[in-house]
């Protein structure tokens, strides 16, 4: 069966809306609802510094987001550029946060900040199966006005 351009555009828009809905549940810390967007064999291909797990299942993904929510409230994900097909979504995105919890020994400052990054998502059976990301985590200390070097953050290597 041949897929038309309009059908492809509809699938791409649906995948974008699916990721946005997942991110909205994460922002609301609605963990059980967020988990419904994840394939049972979901894999995240980047660890978050200080997170207790590198997730390879829905519970691990939710734990990863809970860990980061202990430091920062997730305010917004604003795609700047996105490309999608029936099984993938790629986005250049700006993520906005508020420092609301202790971050590597530094008490909450209440400061709001944004970081840029790129994310790729793969779908299987209508759910998120894989997520790759590269985000400017090393800029967070400076954005918060903290005095420790970004090198002090436990940012894992690509081999982790």
pTM of the prediction?
A: 0.82
Residues 6+ apart with CB under 8 A from 116: 92, 93, 94, 95, 135, 136
Sign of the torsion formed by the C-alpha atoms of 89, 9, 31 and 24: positive
Instruction: Note the pLDDT tens digit of each residue in 91-120.
Output: 999 999 999 999 888 899 999 999 999 999
How much of the chain is helix, strand and coil, in % rounded to 5?
A: 30, 35, 35
Q: What is the pLDDT of residues 5-51, one digit of tens each?
A: 666 678 888 999 999 999 999 999 999 999 999 999 999 987 565 55
Task: Tell me the two tokens of residue 96.
Answer: 């906005």
Domains of the chain: 5-148 (3.10.450.50)
pLDDT tens digits, one per residue of 51-85: 545 678 999 999 988 988 999 999 999 999 999 88
């Amino acid at each position: 069966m041949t897929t038309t351009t309009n059908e492809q555009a509809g699938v791409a828009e649906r995948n974008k809306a699916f990721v946005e809905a997942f991110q909205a549940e994460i922002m609301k810390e609605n963990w059980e609802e967020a988990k419904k967007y994840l394939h049972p064999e979901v894999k995240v291909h980047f660890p978050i510094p200080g997170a207790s797990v590198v997730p390879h299942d829905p519970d691990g993904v939710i734990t990863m987001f809970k860990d980061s929510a202990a430091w920062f409230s997730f305010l917004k994900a604003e795609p700047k550029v996105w490309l999608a097909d029936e099984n993938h979504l790629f986005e250049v995105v700006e993520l906005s946060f508020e420092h609301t919890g202790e971050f590597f020994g530094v008490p909450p400052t209440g400061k709001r900040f944004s970081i840029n990054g790129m994310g790729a998502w793969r779908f299987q059976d209508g759910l998120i199966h894989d997520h790759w990301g590269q985000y400017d985590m090393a800029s967070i200390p400076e954005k918060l006005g903290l005095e420790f070097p970004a090198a002090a953050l436990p940012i894992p290597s690509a081999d982790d």
